[in-house]
Amino acid sequence: MSAARSYLFVPADRPERIAKALGSGADAVIVDLEDAVAPDAKDTARTQLQAWLAGADARPVVVRVNAADTAWFAADLALCTHALVAAVMLPKAERMADVQRVAALGRPVLPLVETAAGIDQLRAVAAVPGVQRLVFGSVDFQLDLGIDGEGEELLFFRSQIVLASRLAQLQPPVDGVSVAIDDAAQLQHDSDRARRLGFGAKLCIHPRQVAAVNAAFTPTEQAVQWARRVLQMAETSGGAAVALEGKMIDKPVILRARAILARVGA
């Protein structure tokens, strides 16, 4: 199965919203026990999520647990042994030991990189067996470092996450949220930038963002047709040098074509 393009957050203490999120078209739904839930509601939210997972309409979801240094972490992990928890998102991922503790559940781990320490430990975190892909918590990261800006101010750090993901042979990483829910142009800009930098998906905070994010991380029909022509010409050339649209078809071009078709399941 192709890697998810969109991850939609839904609060764990609003279980009635989970079904709507699952019907939004998002490739994955993250039921959030962390930032979306007030401290005095953590235990209730966990109980509500547990009840939903036991219900007749439950489907696989990702669960964002509370950070490893909180009082709720151990109970959150116990919940994540449920068969319908498809993956676990670990916030404030900074230490190998914390990631290893989550990975021991036997679920894919999505470390959320959102601090200076997380960036400093990127390669160590990415190398833990069981990590599926890295996730950039861009909003909290800006707060941690005192950065004012979402664009070029974070370019270096985004590129570091892409590099660490590739070195660890993980799925392409997931970019952070776009906080302006009703700004379609900004969402398109943010998604296109993430794709160009090497990200493969994006976090969403509202169902209205899902369709645009999915489209941004799906090859266009023009790209798919180009990839098919490349592979067809490479196959029929018998190893001879050929050109398409004035450009030589060599091994990197062929590999790019194969990657495009793999993303659409062709």
From the list 139, 62, 164, the residue with the least C-alpha distance to 105 is 62
Residue 25 main-chain phi, psi, to 5 deg: 95, -5
Q: What is the structure's pLDDT at 59?
A: 96
Model pLDDT for residues 32-78, shown as the tens digit of each residue:
999 999 999 999 999 999 999 999 889 999 999 999 999 999 999 99
Q: What is the residue whose two structure tokens read 């996450």?
A: 161
Instruction: Give 10-residue mean pLDDT values along the chain (266 residues).
Output: 90 96 97 97 97 94 98 98 98 98 98 98 98 98 97 97 98 96 95 97 98 93 84 79 79 84 75
Q: What is the structure's pLDDT at 229?
A: 86
Residue 200 main-chain phi, psi, to 5 deg: -115, 0
Task: Determine whether 210 is exposed, middle or buried from the number of CB atoms within 10 Å of its CB (0-12, 13-18, 19+).
Answer: buried
DSSP the chain: -PPPSEEEEEETT-GGGHHHHHTTT-SEEEEESSTTS-GGGHHHHHHHHHHHHTSTT---EEEEPPPTTSTTHHHHHHHTTSTTEEEEEESS---HHHHHHHHTTTS-EEEEE-SHHHHHTHHHHHTSTTB---EE-HHHHHHHHT---SSGGGHHHHHHHHHHHHHTTPPPPEE-----TT-HHHHHHHHHHHHHHT--EEEESSGGGHHHHHHHTS--HHHHHHHHHHHHHHHHTTT---EETTEE--HHHHHHHHHHHHHTT-
